[in-house]
Amino acid sequence: MAKIIYGVSGEGSGHSSRARLITEYLIGKGHEVKIVSYDRGYRNLSGDFDVLEIVGLTIVSEDNEVSKLKTIAANLTKLPEGTRAFNSLRGLFKQFSPECVISDFEPTTAYLANHYKLPLISLDNQHRMRYMDYVCPDELKQEAFVTETVIRAMVPKPWVSLITTFHFGPLKNSHSFLFPPILRKNILALGTTEQDHILVYVTSGFDSLIDCLSSFDREQFIVYGSEHTGQRNNILFKEFSADGFPRDLAACKAVIATAGFTLISEALYLNKPYLAFPMQGQFEQQLNAHMLEKKGYGVRGGKVDEKTIAAFLYQLPKYKTTLSQYPRDANHQIQQKLDELLDDNLKHLLAFKPQ
């Protein structure tokens, strides 16, 4: 069995949700795993696993758009603390003596894997933008180039890339492998129903969308992520709940939300049409929304207005029909690949070379 350091990005909840499932599976197979994360990733995982807290990048947004100045300022304040955390991480590498490293878009563990010449597995959804061919809209091609450069800098030279995606394309090399999105156990356990409400997930301060929803007085909306609380006419604002949110997702007739990979993946698995308003300044969300529309599972929202929402609601039957053909997997394929790479003294993993 292998000794593994698992670096997990702390941005959002998708990375830590995926890491929880993979870590549980690896430990169940007898591997020894030490997780390294920060911010939300550390908070979500430290209660159940052996986790070293480090310092990572933070993205600051306002009304569904990345604020570059505030993002830079927020990260500059972390420099002294980051140096101390990096020294602690180097100590972990020396003391634990890992046999390989897994990185879910966490750069410091990836860099130290290269430094110590350890096999590095990238396991995330970001690497589809580096190693998979896809049709990119002309207006996004410059952002696509910048994003690929950032991914290359964040996780340099992975030996193997395990890529989760809801849209599939040709791969650029022989060390990358595509898998359906990894889904949480409570999502897999849910039965899909269809009640009258539409589930809405927003980032804090996305009030322009909230204002539009009030115009649709014949629809019922359950909103998560807002700073508002309580009932406001046809809108019910709820605080996030690990049990309540999945139940509302499984029972809704459609989803209106930002274009995060995890929520899109869970909604598609549960057969829910999706209106995506990608966060401006985040290419991955722009790509998610574009591919969602291209596959016929929903629509990429441009302008946040009543016309966009009304057009989406009118097309719900068409999206439902397309979603009935969506490929579903209960995490088995990627688990089997990990078994292949990590068993037999890492023989299959060591056969790959750093890229």
For residue 89, the surrounding DSSP H or E stretch is helix 79-96
- CA separation for the pair 99, 258 (Å, rounded): 38
Among 30-44, 103-117, 164-178, 201-215, the minimum mean pLDDT is found in 201-215
Phi, psi of 13 (to 5 degrees): -110, -10
The answer to whether the beta carbons of residues 74 and 58 sit under 8 Å apart is yes
- CA separation for the pair 212, 219 (Å, rounded): 12
- Residue 162, pLDDT score: 98
Q: Nearest-5° angle of CA 130, CA 134, CA 137?
A: 110
Calculate mean pLDDT across residues 47-64: 72
Q: What is the pTM of this model?
A: 0.88
Q: 83 vs 176, which has greater pLDDT?
A: 176
The answer to whether the beta carbons of residues 203 and 277 sit under 8 Å apart is no
Among 4-13, 63-72, 99-108, 176-185, the minimum mean pLDDT is found in 63-72
- Residue 69, pLDDT score: 42
Calculate mean pLDDT across residues 157-171: 96
- Residue 13, pLDDT score: 82
CB atoms within 10 A of CB 215: 12
- CA separation for the pair 61, 68 (Å, rounded): 8
Calculate mean pLDDT across residues 37-49: 93
Tens-digit pLDDT profile for residues 258-284: 999 999 999 999 999 999 999 888 899
Q: Which value, to the nearest 10 degrees, does the dihedral of the CA atoms of residues 312, 314, 316, 322 take?
A: -90
Which residue is it, tokens 């598609």?
A: 268
Calculate mean pLDDT across residues 247-251: 96
Residues 6+ apart with CB under 8 A from 159: 119, 120, 121, 175, 349, 352, 353, 354, 355
Set out the domains of the chain in order of their start, with CATH numbers: 3-182+331-350 (3.40.50.2000), 186-323 (3.40.50.2000)
Tens-digit pLDDT profile for residues 176-197: 999 999 999 889 998 888 899 9
Q: Nearest-5° angle of CA 153, CA 159, CA 160?
A: 100
- Residue 57, pLDDT score: 59
Calculate mean pLDDT across residues 25-32: 97
pLDDT of 79 over the 50 cut? no
pLDDT of 302 over the 90 cut? no
Q: Which value, to the nearest 10 degrees, does the dihedral of the CA atoms of residues 171, 175, 178, 181 take?
A: -140
pLDDT of 27 over the 60 cut? yes
The answer to whether the beta carbons of residues 210 and 233 sit under 8 Å apart is no
Among 59-68, 152-161, 279-288, the minimum mean pLDDT is found in 59-68
Cα separation values, 35 from 20, 54, 219, Å: 10, 10, 43
- Residue 83, pLDDT score: 64
Average pLDDT, the chain: 89
